[in-house]
Structure 1
Amino acid sequence: MKVLAETSKPYLYSILSAACMAVAWWYPGSVQAVYLGWLWAITLVIFFTSKSHLYRAAFIGGALQTFLDFYWIKSTVADFGGFSWLSSSAIFALFIIGSSLQYVLAVFIFKQLPRWVHSRAIAVAIAWVSAEMLAVRIFPWHSGHTQIAFTSFAQAAALAGAPFLSFMLVWICDSSLALVDRSRRNALLFLPWVVFTLLLYYGIKSTHFFDTSEGPTLDVALVQANISITEKHNERLVLANTERYLQLTHEITTPNTLVVWPEAVIQNFIPAGVGHILNDPTLALFEEFELPLLVGGLTFESQSRFFNSAIAIQPNGNVLLPYHKQILMPFGEYTPFGDALPFLRVIHPINDFSAGEEVKVFTYRDLAGKKLARVAPLICYEDIVPQLSRHSVLKGAQLLVNITNDAWFGDSMAPYQHHLIAAFRAIENRRFLLRSTNTGLTAIVDPLGR
Structure 2
Amino acid sequence: MTTACILAVLGSWLGFANPLYRLPLLALALPAGLAFAAARAPSATAAAKAGYWVGAAAACASLYWTALPLHDYGGLAWPLAVPAPVLMGLVLGLYTMALALLARLAAERLSPWLFGPFFALAWTVMEMARGTLFTGFPWLTLAAAFSPWPAAIQGAAFLGAYGLSGLLAGLLAWLVVCGPVSRQGLVAVAGLAALFFLGNGRAGQSAPRDGTIHATIVQGNVDQSRKWDPDSQLETVEKYVSLSRQAIKDAPTDLLVWPETTMPFYYQDHGPLAARLIDFAAAAGTPVLFGAPAYGRTLGGHVLFNRAYLLAPTGEEGTYDKEHLVPFGEYVPLGRFLPFIHKLVDGVGDFRPGKSEAPLRVGRLALGVLICYEAIFPELAQQRVEAGANILVNISNDSWFGDSAAPRQHLDLAVLRAVEQGRAIIRGTNSGISAVIDPRGRLMAQGGLFTTLTLPCPEVPVVSETTWYHRNHAVLTWAAPVLLALACLACAVLPKRRHGQPGRGITL
Aligned in 2, Cα 1:41/1:89: closer, same or farther, shift over 3 Å? Answer: closer
1:406 corresponds, among 384, 398, 418, to: 398
- Answering whether residue 202 of structure 2 is matched by residue 209 of structure 1, we say no
Aligned in 2, Cα 1:33/1:55: closer, same or farther, shift over 3 Å? Answer: same
Instruction: Report the Cα offset of residue 392 of structure 1.
Output: 0.6
Q: Distance in 2 between matches of 1:285 and 1:239?
A: 15
Moved more, 262-271 or 46-55: 46-55
Aligned in 2, Cα 1:181/1:331: closer, same or farther, shift over 3 Å? Answer: closer
Q: Distance in 1 between matches of 2:74 and 2:333?
A: 12
Aligned in 2, Cα 1:82/1:34: closer, same or farther, shift over 3 Å? Answer: same
- Answering whether residue 115 of structure 2 is matched by residue 121 of structure 1, we say yes
Name the structure 1 match of 2:468: none
Instruction: Report the Cα offset of residue 89 of structure 1.
Output: 3.7
Give the counterpart letter for 2:257 in structure 1.
V
Instruction: Report the Cα offset of residue 119 of structure 1.
Output: 5.3
What SS does the aligned partner of 1:218 have? strand
Q: Distance in 1 between matches of 2:35 and 2:241?
A: 54
- Answering whether residue 25 of structure 2 is matched by residue 35 of structure 1, we say yes
CA contact (8 A) 2:4 2:33 kept: yes
Name the structure 2 match of 1:354: 352
Q: Distance in 2 between matches of 1:197 and 1:389?
A: 29
Moved more, 307-316 or 140-149: 140-149
Name the structure 2 match of 1:263: 260
2:330 corresponds, among 333, 342, 355, to: 333
> How many positions carry a matched residue from both structures?
425
What SS does the aligned partner of 2:41 have? coil
CA contact (8 A) 2:55 2:96 kept: yes
Give the counterpart letter for 2:288 in structure 1.
L
Instruction: Report the Cα offset of residue 402 of structure 1.
Output: 0.6
CA contact (8 A) 1:223 1:248 kept: yes
Aligned in 2, Cα 1:131/1:411: closer, same or farther, shift over 3 Å? Answer: same
Give the counterpart letter for 1:315 in structure 2.
P
Q: Distance in 2 between matches of 1:149 and 1:176?
A: 24
- Answering whether residue 341 of structure 2 is matched by residue 344 of structure 1, we say yes
Q: Which has the higher contact order (CA 8 A, sep 6+)?
A: 2
Q: Distance in 2 between matches of 1:68 and 1:179?
A: 29
Identity of aligned residues (%): 27
Name the structure 2 match of 1:224: 219
Moved more, 427-436 or 226-235: 226-235
Q: Distance in 2 between matches of 1:200 and 1:256?
A: 36
Name the structure 1 match of 2:388: 396
Q: 1:180-191 residue pairs with structure 2 within 5 A?
A: 180=179, 185=182
Name the structure 2 match of 1:141: 140
What SS does the aligned partner of 1:323 have? strand
Name the structure 2 match of 1:5: none
TM-score scaled to structure 1, two decimals? 0.85
Instruction: Report the Cα offset of residue 315 of structure 1.
Output: 1.9
Q: Distance in 2 between matches of 1:221 and 1:146?
A: 27
CA contact (8 A) 2:312 2:362 kept: yes
Q: Distance in 1 between matches of 2:344 and 2:7?
A: 40
Name the structure 2 match of 1:160: 159
What SS does the aligned partner of 2:266 have? strand
Aligned in 2, Cα 1:108/1:358: closer, same or farther, shift over 3 Å? Answer: farther
Q: Distance in 1 between matches of 2:80 and 2:327?
A: 14
Q: Distance in 2 between matches of 1:375 and 1:347?
A: 31
- Answering whether residue 415 of structure 2 is matched by residue 423 of structure 1, we say yes
Structure 1 residues 393-436: Cα deviation after superposition (integer angstroms, max 9, x where no partner): 11111100111011001121110011001110100011111110
Q: 1:90-101 residue pairs with structure 2 within 5 A?
A: 90-101=83-94
CA contact (8 A) 1:81 1:331 kept: no
Aligned in 2, Cα 1:108/1:46: closer, same or farther, shift over 3 Å? Answer: closer
Give the counterpart letter for 1:148 in structure 2.
S
Name the structure 1 match of 2:229: 234
CA contact (8 A) 2:237 2:273 kept: no
1:104 corresponds, among 97, 117, 122, to: 97
Q: Distance in 2 between matches of 1:109 and 1:45?
A: 10
CA contact (8 A) 1:401 1:435 kept: yes
CA contact (8 A) 2:180 2:186 kept: no
What SS does the aligned partner of 1:74 have? helix
- Answering whether residue 369 of structure 2 is matched by residue 377 of structure 1, we say yes
What SS does the aligned partner of 1:72 have? helix
What SS does the aligned partner of 1:219 have? strand
CA contact (8 A) 2:283 2:313 kept: no
Q: Distance in 2 between matches of 1:346 and 1:157?
A: 35
Aligned in 2, Cα 1:167/1:300: closer, same or farther, shift over 3 Å? Answer: same
Give the counterpart letter for 1:446 in structure 2.
D
Structure 1 residues 53-90: Cα deviation after superposition (integer angstroms, max 9, x where no partner): 22222222223212211111112233454445454344
Moved more, 86-95 or 352-361: 86-95
Aligned in 2, Cα 1:181/1:239: closer, same or farther, shift over 3 Å? Answer: closer
Name the structure 1 match of 2:68: 75
TM-score scaled to structure 2, two decimals? 0.76
Give the counterpart letter for 1:390 in structure 2.
Q
Aligned in 2, Cα 1:324/1:381: closer, same or farther, shift over 3 Å? Answer: same
Cα RMSD (Å): 2.9
Gaps of 5+ in 1: 1-8, 366-370
Give the counterpart letter for 2:337 in structure 1.
A
Q: Distance in 2 between matches of 1:56 and 1:262?
A: 43
Name the structure 1 match of 2:48: 55
